[in-house]
Amino acid sequence: MNIAIITGASSGMGKEFARQLTEKVLGLDEVWLIARRSERLASLAKELPVDVRTFSMDLTDDADYEPLTELLAKEQPKIRVMINCAGYGKTGPFETIPEADTLGMVDLNCRALTKMTYLVLPYMPKRSYLIQFASIAGILPQPNFAVYAASKAYVLSLTRALREELRSRQIFVTAICPGPVDTAFFSIAEETGSPFGLKKYFMARKEKVVAKALHDAMRKKDVSVYGLSMKLLRLLVKYVPQKWILFIYARLLRGVK
């Protein structure tokens, strides 16, 4: 049985990945959707043109992995596509963000992604795809977005290393590194502080970001970056010392009200 697994599938980018993946990737017998909100997963499952199984899981709770772990061991599916999309961010000065929110970012963005990757790799055959959701924030430290950016730097680094480790198994690994995307992400992020105001001018549509991500992943690219502005930022970080960029960034940040 050939399957795809998507975490964070109840909303935003994960939901859009589920929609586009089932339209564009042929040969999947089932898609397994993972998120906390079971009612949203059930609603999404009715929209998709393939058989779907839903798993209501809190990926930061080890106990919630047990049913999925047992099912994988029992059914031994071939995981053709794995998309680790679950994650969230909180903005604001480090000291002002509640400790639970800060540690929650690390748990979900880093630990849960790592745990899911461990869980699925034994079931991924040759010519399968591992897609890890990082962020353009992962290429540069970001004041007032410090932990989120650091967590995505971890994802980006892990993904690029796994790409080389898994090359001999012909498992193709891609890091998705979007800039700001027009989803509910920022409404959640803003609960603890206002984001860097200029980001609103670079918002991308999730449909376009996901289409580019799947296009790049299926063509075995190591990193997918959507939009000219984000590509220019990536280029800038390669050639300009980070301390200079952070110096300017911090002053712009203080100037945005």
What are 137-159's pLDDT values in tens digits? 888 888 889 999 999 999 999 99
- How does residue 194 score in pLDDT terms, banded at 50, 70 and 90? low
Return d(Cα 176, Cα 214) in angstroms, integer: 9
Closest CA to 139 of 176, 96, 184: 176
**Helices 146-165, 99-106: inter-axial angle, 10-degree rounding:** 10
Q: What are the pLDDT digits (tens) for 120-134? A: 999 999 999 999 999
Average pLDDT of span 81-85: 97
Could you tell me what percent of the chain has a pLDDT over 70? 89
* Model pLDDT, residue 254: 61
Task: Cite the active site residues.
Answer: 148, 152
Indicate the residue type of 250. Answer: A
Q: Is the pLDDT of residue 173 over 50?
A: yes
Question: DSSP assignment, residue 60?
Answer: T
Whole-angstrom CA distances from 228 to 179, 186, 235 are 10, 21, 10
Return d(Cα 148, Cα 31) in angstroms, integer: 29
* Model pLDDT, residue 83: 97
DSSP 33-54: EEES-HHHHHHHHHHSSSEEEE
Return left, alpha or beta for 203; rule: phi > 0 is left, psi -120 to 50 is alpha, else beta: beta
Q: What are the pLDDT digits (tens) for 216-228? A: 999 999 999 987 8
- Where b means 16+ CB within 10 Å and e means fewer, 154-174 reads bbbebbbebbeebeeeebbbb
- How does residue 53 score in pLDDT terms, banded at 50, 70 and 90? very high
Return d(Cα 145, Cα 134) in angstroms, integer: 14
Average pLDDT of span 107-116: 97
46 in Cβ contact with 19 (< 8 Å):
no
pTM equals 0.88
> Which one is predicted more confidently, 139 or 72?
72
